[in-house]
Structure 1
Amino acid sequence: MKNSTFLRPSLVVIGIASIRYDKRGIGESSIANLDESKLTFDDYVEDASNWVTFIKKDKRFSSISIAGHSEGSLIGMLASTKNVDKFISVSGAGEPIDQILKKQLTQLPEKLKTESYVIIDSLKNGNTVNNINPNLSALFRKSVQPYLISWIKYNPVNEINKLTIPFLVIQGDMDIQVDTDNAKNLSPKSAVIIKVMNHVLKNVTSKEDLSSYNNPELPINTELVEVISNFIFKK
């Protein structure tokens, strides 16, 4: 879960242990000569599932909950089908990534937007695209396209409805990256919308205020900690 470094101290105080790890290929989980073209979304799901298997063997823990933030929300859903007691989605998407990408790219110049949409539609159909405009290569370079294809096939709403365990959906109303409609898509009747919380789980007065993204001194939203802990401890 992203930002779990800030969440962990607050949970420890109330008796909730947590395991955090860098995503495969990043930070302490970096892999020498990693072939990006071989990386898939399911690899991340497998990594999360392997951690669950590891924790399950440790008798110190009475239950296991997965909390997935942003992209990790869908990863957490898919990894919560076995040996997991509860699932928590924080700032998670409530629609497939192809739809999200199209919304995020609406501000591009018309030509680039059209090219982007064509690429996205091709990836949704399982087909890679060879000729990529250099202005779009950061997002759609050939080596990352297999990953996007493996991600697009999942609809978060379908996946969360497959869960047979209790789940909680949390969303901040100051999130500029994922709006509250996503949370309501995932959990129409019980999504928890936290006021003044943004995508990095900090309190802000404006969605456009991105200073909190690079300010580790700002505390995490206290209501978030309370909502998560109440859900985990609820029998």
Structure 2
Amino acid sequence: MTKSDTTSQPAVAREIPLDVPAADGITLAGTLTLPVGPGPHPAVLCLPGSGKLDRDSNARRVRMDLGRPLADALARHGVASLRYDRRGVGATPGDWHAVGFLDNRADAAAALRALRSHPEVYPRDVGVLGHSEGAVHAMWLAAHAQPAAAVMLAGYARPGDQAVRWQGTQLAATMPRPLLPILRRLAARQLNRLATSTTDTIRIGGARMNARWWREQLAYDPRPDLARIKVPVLAITGDKDVQVDPGDLDVITQLAPGAETHRVPGLTHVLRRTDGPATVFAYRKLLRDPVDHEVLTHVARWLADRLR
């Protein structure tokens, strides 16, 4: 895939609110985007990355602005989509700090059930798509909930603690060398506190941390679930991703035979491309631009071809 410029597009979809009943009774506030024209339609559940994210993958300080462009690209290719606010974010109630990694997975499963049951959707033609943490939940759903297809954008394929340590190594490479021993000791101490915690939240350096999410994520190994997947898989990671090892695409290929994988030149974890160094410190500038158009188009076409 190559980079191309984005252009303004006419309205190709209509949006309606869709409340998702979670297993514990909480209502997840969502948006169902439908292609123009009569239904029912094939559809995709869209799952965000980690953090306090709303249905458009936006947090207060980091705005991915992924949800709407992705929904529009899918609708343009005749595919409906559902996205929703996480617990404690936007219009969904709850305490985000107390929500676990496995809670996010359970909510994703509930959203998949709600999408399948909607009258505007073909229940047998529903796929799952996730970015970062959402890609890992998409892997689990693909293995256990029998969607029609699965897309993994920047998803890791190793135990969570290994994925976090790899990410830390990439971050350390951008730090002043004299500080590295101190920073490594501090990071190891904090990870150990999170991994051995027993409460939903703890305080580290005065900040309230979602300890349950961290220890569940650190303990989860997606590889057994990857090996169980029988549906079509598309996995995309950029070669300038410093939060997920692009080499994990090889693991996906080995464990999920037939998976289509792409290591996209210049693509970063925030799904924008750069000609500069691979570093999280470039995100602020990169996020001024829209999500990579070629990636969105490739994903939408791939799903449209497999959900009909």
Q: Does TM, normalized by the shorter one, top 0.5?
A: yes
CA contact (8 A) 1:46 1:79 kept: no
3-state SS in 1 of match to 2:130: strand
Instruction: Report the equivalent of 2:97.
Output: 36
Return the alpha-carbon distance in structure 1 between the equivalents of residues 184 and 101 of structure 2.
Answer: 25
Which amino acid in 2 is paired with 1:102? R
Q: Does 1:22 align with 2:85?
A: yes
2:274 to 187, 204, 209: 204
The residue aligned with 1:76 is 138
Q: Which residue of 1 aligns with 2:233?
A: 167
Partner of 2:298: 227
1:191 Cα offset (Å): 1.6
> CA offset at residue 112 of structure 1?
4.2
1:178 corresponds in structure 2 to 244
Instruction: Specify which structure has the higher proportion of strand.
Output: 2
Distance verdict in 2 for CA 1:11–1:190, change over 3 Å: closer
- Name the aligned partner's letter for residue 305 of structure 2: K
Provide closer, same or farther for how the CA distance between residues 83 and 182 of structure 1 changes in structure 2, counting only shifts above 3 A. closer
Is the CA contact (8 Å cut-off) linking 1:94 and 1:181 kept in structure 2?
no
The equivalent of 2:67 in structure 1 is 4
Cα deviation per residue 1:155-197 (whole Å; 9 max; x = unaligned)? 1222222222221111122323223112222224742122232
Task: Measure the CA separation in 2 of the matches of 1:49 and 1:133.
Answer: 31
Give the equivalent residue in structure 2 for 1:214: 287
Query: 2:116 aligned to 56, 60, 64, which one?
Result: 56
After superposition, the Cα gap between the structure-2 partners of 1:127 and 1:200, relative to the gap in structure 1 and judged at 3 Å, is closer
Residue type matched to 2:246 in 1?
A: T
Show the counterpart of 2:212. Answer: 146
**RMSD (Å), alpha carbons:** 2.8
- Tell me the TM-score normalised to structure 1 length: 0.80
Q: Matched residue of 1:6: which SS?
A: helix
1:65 aligns with 2:127: yes
Match of 1:88 among 117, 136, 151: 151
Equivalent residue for 2:166? 103
The answer to which of 90-99 and 44-53 deviates more is 90-99
Q: Which residue matches 1:114?
A: 185
Q: How many residues align?
A: 224
Q: Secondary structure at the match of 1:18?
A: strand
SS in 2 for 1:19: strand
Structure having the higher helix fraction is: 1
SS at structure 1 position matched to 2:82? coil
The alignment partner of 2:210 has SS state of: helix
What's the offset of the Cα at 1:116?
3.0
Which stretch has the larger CA shift, 88-97 or 109-118? 109-118
* 1:73 CA displacement: 0.9
For structure 1, list consecutive stretches of 5 or more residues without a partner in the other structure. none
Cα distance change of structure 1 residues 103 and 181 upon mapping to structure 2, 3 Å threshold: same
Compute the TM-score of the two structures, normalised by the length of structure 2: 0.63
Name which of structure 1's ranges 59-68 and 115-124 shifts more when overlaid on structure 2: 115-124
- Decide whether aligned partners of structure 1 residues 192 and 213 sit closer, same or farther in structure 2, where only a CA change above 3 A counts: same
Matched-pair identity in % = 22
1:227–1:98 distance in 2 versus 1, CA, 3 Å: same
Alpha-carbon distance in 2 for matches of 1:89, 1:17: 18
Q: Evaluate the alpha carbon distance shift between residue 211 and residue 118 of structure 1 in structure 2; reply closer, same or farther with a 3 A threshold.
A: closer
